[in-house]
Structure 1
Amino acid sequence: MTPQGEELDVLYGKGSSAPSCGDCPSEGGGQFYTDFRSIGRDDLADAPVLHLSYQVRFPADWDFGERGGKLPGLYGGPPGQASGGQHGDAWSTRYMWRIRSDEPKATVYVYDPSMGDGYGEDVGLGSWLWQADDQWHTVEQAVDRTSGTITVWYDGQKVLEERGIHEVADIPFSGIFFSTFFGGHDTSWGPSRDVHAQFRDFQVSTSKSS
């Protein structure tokens, strides 16, 4: 990942997958956690509803691969306990693209304590499509911990509203889970060549962005 002014450029290497991939020919994507409380934003951590919006740009020659990949979302609970096989008392609402009928169908990929140690679940698969057109697109999610409802807007249009996250009312927001890679956990998820995507304008608030 390389900062470019106010943008973050992310390289996904040919055949790359999740950070846990042991036999991938190259590395790609990136992952880190932010922490609201560590920056003095207890108001965000304790909010019943939180909105995360950001912009993403996929170049026109972007290769979505043959299976899918992850994009950033919100999380609650301890870092590292809201992803594959390590759930604990945590949850996350990253996005994914999944290739269905040769289209990059979007979904919110949810982990929550109700799932035990299994993999996450798709919420709203196919509610919108990710666009590879070298243009900036804004995606915004609202997570209501009280009701377990996830709402998503894509370029300002509401595309999803579904009760799809469970047992999280007592788990405060922790921060942004910046997590993006192809996968899955093996090279079959990876792109056929090196590709780049850009991210910018991350905003977190207790109400919808204008």
Structure 2
Amino acid sequence: MFYGKGSSAPSCGDCPSEGGGQFYTDFRSIGRDDLADAAVLNLSYQVRFPSDWDFGERGGKLPGLYGGPPGQASGGQHGDAWSTRYMWRIRSDEPKATVYVYDPSQGDGYGKDVGLGSWAWQADGQWHTVEQSVDRSSGTIAIRYDGQEVLREQGIQDVAGIPFSGIFFSTFFGGHDTSWGPSRDVHAQFRDFRVSAG
């Protein structure tokens, strides 16, 4: 995945270059109603940041699960949708990891950090596996990083009646303006996306 110098969210109107990418998958459209209707769903994938990766000065997004209509699981109105993307946020010059949650309890506006600093993204040129388990009935989010549980928290609300929709593949620096972007062109890699129920 390419992230251009100074790039930010797809909504950035004055960024000097494009970066990252975003799309929604849909479990029901591929005949996987069992995943959509599951009470608990697990998403795992691998990500690799090269050793010269620039996390920027503020933060950025990484893929997660979502429920409800596409387009309502991020900034703005999300009364009938939710999402559990990851972020990196720069705190004390370190890229702290978090689950960035949107859910109906928030009304309009932006999301909330769940478990900020419970683990850290590694920029070492190696593949790292991150897994999220979302329990819609209890609101519990559990995270495993390279096989070790690093977070378990009731971090999402009012989603028991909103089925899983799919993977929200969303990665960019931001934020919505160039202040979030990297100081140079950078690349990250993703592979081995897996979803399972229970």
**TM tier relative to shorter chain:** over 0.9
Stretches of 4+ aligned residues off by more than 6 angstroms: none
Aligned residue for 1:114, secondary structure, equals: helix
1:30 touches 1:180 (CA, 8 Å); kept in 2?
A: yes
Structure 2 counterpart of 1:160, from 151, 154, 170: 151
TM-score (ref. length: structure 2): 0.99
User: Which residue of structure 1 aligns with residue 94 of structure 2?
Assistant: 103
1:3-27 Cα deviation digits (max 9, x unpaired): xxxxxxx000000000000110000
Task: Give me the whole-angstrom Cα distance separating, in 2, the residues matched to 1:118 and 1:39.
Answer: 31
1:17 touches 1:190 (CA, 8 Å); kept in 2?
A: yes
Aligned residue for 1:118, secondary structure, equals: coil
Q: How does 1:26-37 map to 2 (within 5 A)?
A: 26-37=17-28
Q: Which amino acid aligns with 1:27?
A: E
**Residue identity (%):** 88
Aligned residue for 1:31, secondary structure, equals: strand
User: Which residue of structure 1 aligns with residue 81 of structure 2?
Assistant: 90
1:88 positional shift: 2.7
User: Which residue of structure 2 aligns with residue 141 of structure 1?
Assistant: 132
Task: Give me the whole-angstrom Cα distance separating, in 2, the residues matched to 1:142 and 1:155.
Answer: 14
Task: Give me the whole-angstrom Cα distance separating, in 2, the residues matched to 1:122 and 1:172.
Answer: 22
User: Which residue of structure 1 aligns with residue 39 of structure 2?
Assistant: 48
1:80 touches 1:86 (CA, 8 Å); kept in 2?
A: no
1:65 touches 1:192 (CA, 8 Å); kept in 2?
A: yes
Matched, 1:184 2:172: no
User: Which residue of structure 1 aligns with residue 123 of structure 2?
Assistant: 132
Structure 1 portions without partners, runs of 5+: 1-9
Matched, 1:115 2:103: no
Task: Give me the whole-angstrom Cα distance separating, in 2, the residues matched to 1:85 and 1:107.
Answer: 20
Aligned residue for 2:188, secondary structure, equals: strand
Task: Give me the whole-angstrom Cα distance separating, in 2, the residues matched to 1:118 and 1:65.
Answer: 24
Q: How does 1:11-22 map to 2 (within 5 A)?
A: 11-22=2-13
TM-score (ref. length: structure 1): 0.94
User: Which residue of structure 2 aligns with residue 38 of structure 1?
Assistant: 29
1:105 positional shift: 0.3
Task: Give me the whole-angstrom Cα distance separating, in 2, the residues matched to 1:84 and 1:186.
Answer: 14
Task: Give me the whole-angstrom Cα distance separating, in 1, the residues matched to 2:120 and 2:133.
Answer: 18
Aligned residue for 2:105, secondary structure, equals: helix
Number of residues of Structure 1 aligned to a counterpart in Structure 2: 198
Task: Give me the whole-angstrom Cα distance separating, in 1, the residues matched to 2:25 and 2:13.
Answer: 26
Matched, 1:78 2:69: yes
Aligned residue for 2:149, secondary structure, equals: strand
1:118 positional shift: 1.4
1:140 positional shift: 0.0
1:18-38 Cα deviation digits (max 9, x unpaired): 000011000000000000000
Structure 2 portions without partners, runs of 5+: none
Aligned residue for 1:61, secondary structure, equals: coil
Q: Which amino acid aligns with 2:24?
A: Y
